[in-house]
Chains A and B, each alone.
Chain A
């Protein structure tokens, strides 16, 4: 029985009188890939914002492993092991591809102000080490030749990949991908699919994925959770979901 990585119970948030997410339950095991789908405005990204501390839940709890994560700040949650990507790519556009990944290592760097001002041996060693680590990670995504490029100059598909690389560099146990295939052509989507499969094998990481591209969702997700109006309306295996009358009703209208 694999361990539970992310568990939420009765999780919800209210904006004024609007219950954006209500009674959200999920249980993601180690190495599992779960899809989160739903019509526009259903509250998918809000769920991500709850899991990453952008919003503080007004009801319920969520745990990473056995650690209660409610009310923690974003950087504390990242340090605990939840990393994410964004629906509209958020890279540090004027920084190099390499630097984008290095930023994610910052929290692990031990040298402080004195070390960086005096340029101690420990400083150079740590800098060299994280550069090596970043390079290894970039080569997983086939970006090693573009390490010196400005991130903003990468083609769209590679920007998505770089964002995933940066999230992985935080040494996360749980990866939240917000519409990774948005705006991609079929070739790029296929490439992304292969890429997600590779990182699952390589890093043994659990993934929660928001996606509108059904071919991608049905292809790689082991389990799917469907939400509408902030509440879970169905969950199960991909083939079950695709025949669920409630899901069809939510997407197409009754």
Chain B
């Protein structure tokens, strides 16, 4: 069957794309270009990519503004950190069979993601009855609630409000800054989200964004799809949080997950283009790297963000990519056969 062949070919090209990117990282690594500083930025890009693509599911595809994404990231970060700490203690005490760091990290990552998804579900069910500005406000509220609760949990490093700001950090977290593992996780996450968007689920949530009354008249259970998308989005925010927690500093502070953090990711989604995974990936990389490159002006970062956002709204309200998706397969097909590339929307995309 012709279609089957094309699907397989697309899959191979996508895998190839990921491998080429991986090899590029490997080459840079073996040339000694990747020191700890670059490694830090690389990991920052990776969890930003997961955060932004997952937030894009809610903002771009479902069309609902959510300002509490950092809250879910916090849940994922703390849960995974506590789990890996517990595993570490268990191994030391001989209660658990020894296992590699990567294994521990993955168990923590999965727990963090599931915990974040549960929070997403619990927050989503009441919150998604609202829409527009009201949803934005309530998600903002939930995000802050999650953070403040963490601030007051003794086992999460918080000492309670009575103790003021002092010593509120979770310390001694496992370090997992192997760039290949993080790269792999990121690629898989983006691939899963792309698959989600290109299925009945993606179609349904785009339809709900376009017209919710018509969607329910076409037989869609709107509440179900909204809550599902919110939960999936929170799940991946949890994964990003887990990567963040294990990025190598060994500490976690509740103040890492403030409202400003959520806003940063919202800006990245808008900049990349609501409804474009490519845009999200590119915007996440750009806005993670630029502040590092412009270290000297770091105190103006939020100012620069705002200016970028305002200019964007004036000159290109659809974001850098609109809803265009980059496809390595289509690009190669165009170059090799001279056929014009098909519309970016229906095409498959190669890698992270």
- Which residue numbers of A lie inside 8 Å of B, CB to CB? 52, 54, 73-75, 78-79, 83-84, 86, 90-95, 99, 102-104, 106-107, 109, 111, 113, 115-119, 123-124, 128, 166-167, 169-170
Contact = CB atoms under 8 A, between A and B. Distances in A.
Contacts of A84: 217
A86 B195 contact: no
Contact of A103 (B4, B198, B213, B215): B215
Given A113-B196, A117-B196, A106 B217 contact: no
Given A116-B195, A119-B195, A170-B219, A106 B210 contact: no
Nearest to B217: A84
A192 to B, nearest CB: 19
Contacts of B211: 90-93
B221 A95 contact: no
Interface size class of B (residues with CB under 8 A): 20 to 34
A83 B206 CA distance: 20
17 contacts: A78-B219, A86-B213, A86-B214, A92-B207, A95-B207, A99-B203, A103-B215, A103-B218, A106-B200, A106-B204, A111-B200, A116-B201, A117-B199, A119-B7, A124-B4, A128-B3, A169-B218
Given A92-B207, A93-B210, A103-B204, A74 B196 contact: no
Contacts of A99: 203, 206-207
A86 B211 CA distance: 12
B187 to A, nearest CB: 14
A67 B321 CA distance: 49
A92 B199 contact: no
Interface string B122-138: 00000000000000000
A106 B214 contact: no
Nearest to A84: B217
Nearest to A75: B221
Given A90-B211, A95-B206, A117 B195 contact: yes
A108 B90 CA distance: 48
Nearest to A171: B219
B216 A78 contact: yes
Contacts of A106: 200, 203-204, 218-220
Contacts of A124: 4, 7
Contacts of A93: 210-211
B192 interface: yes
A95 B202 CA distance: 12
Contacts of A116: 195-196, 198-201
Contact of A75 (B3, B4, B195, B222): B222
Contact of A95 (B196, B200, B210, B217): B210
Quick one: which of B198, B201, B219 has the most chain A CB within 10 A?
B219
A206 to B, nearest CB: 17
Contacts of A91: 211, 214
Nearest to A76: B221
Quick one: which of A54, A75, A93, A124 has the most chain B CB within 10 A?
A75
Contact of B210 (A79, A92, A113): A92
Nearest to B193: A117
